[in-house]
Structure 1
């Protein structure tokens, strides 16, 4: 039955879960199809206004996330006592539906799905946002085999009240506890908690079932916190040893024993699901300007890059390449912090067009690390270089990038 929620006309239900119902809707004001999630009443009675304020705060935060693997948030608010979130409508199927239809996924495809999710988590964690409710029903697989991670911030907005553990809260469900890190179930959420949930999800992609499935929410929590994870080989033979070790490390009981970051997980998964690089001819003026910079003429090269940026019809990747070249010229001219800020903006643009392992992205991240060293922030530089060293170790020995980050790390350690 059709109904309206403010300017949104709800047409049909797309799905439902422990936190609400998702509707296909039409935004009459903007003239576009959207997905509208109506949040379940948390059951706090007179405290609904507190929950509402928390929800609106989280929606504002996550609405600023800008990544190709995260649906855009268009609107949020409340209408007649109902909290709602309006998002980009993503075509495709939820990952739990894919698993029901296809069963276990092939090694490369499973690792590829996990790699794309890890890329989204690396971005979100870098923005200070933890998902808190990562599970197959919150991951969409698009027709082009892309990935969209849904519901950032929704779980955070509906966290239990102080003193109330997550697994006994009114809004918790067994379907959530199945993928929940031990520390999160008792109210201690951190980025490593998302990595545990990713481990549960990857385990299910490979084994056909999550690591723990039996019992009440409390019993599931007990299993996550205290019982050993059933070996993947007991469900499926032939999984590469390195991939099994990665899953085991993601499912460590203690957060500090898991991989250091989602970026590290993304890099490790490249071994089984290499990202495809975009190959395309670059504008010839880019090479000419870069040659002038390498020849020790950064001021002239900077003018050349600015001239390229003034052209109309320049390809998006060429625009980003010109901005990169200009930033490096600015760094050569002594304006290091200005160059660092611009390269960070460039990297955000590249992340929407290229894979995390694309050589262009690796080069930009390496230049950011170099500039971090110049500003004296050796801690941040070392962390970035360690992630890059893992990715570069998978490159061919003849690639010029092979070993450069580990080499710079060694020089930094000697300096300290």
Structure 2
């Protein structure tokens, strides 16, 4: 049994897969325990080149991803002819082990896992990276309840960085067929291919098994591409109608029929996920210009307010929470100027980042959810608006003080919508 790789002292094997083997290791330079991933042993010559290129791409792609839901990459290289990648060692349980021991998850927990996964995907897609192998074994629940998305090892760059080349391999379909989108099986991966895989995962979290499980790889390809998804209601009762509709939308055969983005999916999933108070308030450290520009917007001057939001976003030294608040304000200006769909898409993107940064219970997150519901009403999507508002009512009661000016706004809007229906 090998015990070292350069300075890294390998202690125990954590798992094996198509890309190689992962070890826990001690890093004496940093004094921390890390995970070391080694390239699979040499096979046929042509396969070696493919694996090496894919492994090195993983190192380049993953090292530039900086998100709390993605294990950080600390080092990569070659030692005595063996390629390796050093990353955070994530404690906890993989979701496949959770499902095997505990069975299907409660609806709220399943939706929450899917929402936080969608937030990670929204970030990765924004960096032009598609995961391509989303499955329960690549989702880890840490002891404090966080979700980590593991193994971007078969990710592909949508738009390669300068100096990089797009990697494609003939007859190669990276991923796991049980969770693979129809278009991915024929080598046409797009960001919404990850959403199809997320739909398979969410279906399994709710029912205990993915939509299609039987047969050879070819038969599974055929089922994903051609056969109707077994109705979720037949496998589990009590799943809310709106959530079943969302799962069905994620599992549409054609990419263009699925939700437009991971950020949109994350926003929709907030209707069924629990909200706890966030770690800090965005307003506590708010940039002084935010309140001034918001007042200008509310006074009926959205075009001027939009210009000032854009100036603030371009200014140096503005914190991430304030940038997100400025983006949300700018989106509201865009909506007031008649570009409702553009505003809605931007708010959904902002929401995913706010929840990741501030926590689900931060008042800024509640504000963005409320404004998304308002815009959904404007676009005629009343059912989706009602689903979001129903959950938001209780969340605001738990988070907002009784004398907060925002208290009661969601209940009032929800009541007006019900009367309209």
TM-score, normalised relative to structure 1: 0.72
Aligned to 2:68, what secondary structure does the other structure show? coil
More divergent stretch after superposition (251-260 vs 282-291): 282-291
Q: 1:292 to 1:118 in 2, by over 3 A?
A: closer
Q: Assess if the C-alpha contact under 8 Å between 1:264 and 1:390 holds in 2.
A: no
Confirm whether residue 136 of structure 1 aligns to residue 136 of structure 2.
yes
Q: SS at the partner of 2:25?
A: strand
SS at match of 1:271: helix
Query: Residue 162 of structure 1: CA displacement?
Result: 3.8
**SS at structure 2 position matched to 1:78:** strand
RMSD (Å), alpha carbons? 3.8
Contact 1:343/1:364 (8 A) holds in 2 = no
Q: How does 1:66-215 map to 2 (within 5 A)?
A: 66-156=66-156, 162-166=169-173, 176-215=176-215
How far did 1:340 drift? 2.4
Measured against aligned partners, the alpha-carbon deviations of 1:149-193 in whole angstroms (never above 9, x if no partner) come to 011244449x98543142xxxx76xxx111111111111111110
Three-state SS of the structure 1 residue aligned to 2:189 is: coil
- Residue 218 of structure 2 aligns with which residue? 218
Matches within 5 A, 1:204-353: 204-278=204-278, 337-341=310-314, 346=319, 349-350=320-321
Q: 2 CA distance for matches of 1:13 and 1:230?
A: 38
Cα distance, 1:59 vs. partner? 1.8
Aligned to 1:369: 331
Q: Give 1:341 shift.
A: 4.0
Alignment CA distance shift 1:402-1:9 (3 Å)? same
Q: Return closer, same or farther for 1:364/1:334 CA change in 2, 3 Å cut-off.
A: closer
Q: CA deviation at 1:379?
A: 8.3
In structure 1, the gaps of 5 or more residues are 297-330, 351-359, 404-416
Superposition deviation, residue 88 in structure 1 = 0.7
Deviation at residue 224 of structure 1 after TM alignment: 0.7
Which 5+ residue runs of structure 2 have no aligned equivalent? 158-165, 297-303, 350-367, 375-384, 394-405, 412-421
Structure 1 residue 227, shift from structure 2 partner: 0.9
What's the counterpart of residue 16 of structure 2? 16
Q: 1:293/1:42 Cα in 2 relative to 1: closer, same or farther (>3 Å)?
A: same
Deviation (angstroms), 1:42: 7.3
Residue deviations 1:120-175, cap 9 Å, x none?
A: 11111111111000001111101111100011244449x98543142xxxx76xxx
- Once the two structures are TM-superposed, the CA of residue 238 in structure 1 deviates from its matched residue by 1.4
- 1:104–1:336: structure 2 CA closer, same or farther, 3 Å change rule? closer
- Aligned residue number for residue 397 of structure 2: none
- Provide the rounded CA distance (Å) in 1 between the counterparts of 2:262 and 2:71: 19
TM-score, with normalisation over the residues of structure 2?
Answer: 0.72
Contact 2:306–2:334 at 8 Å: present in 1 too? Answer: no
* Cα distance in 1 for residues equivalent to 2:179 and 2:94: 16
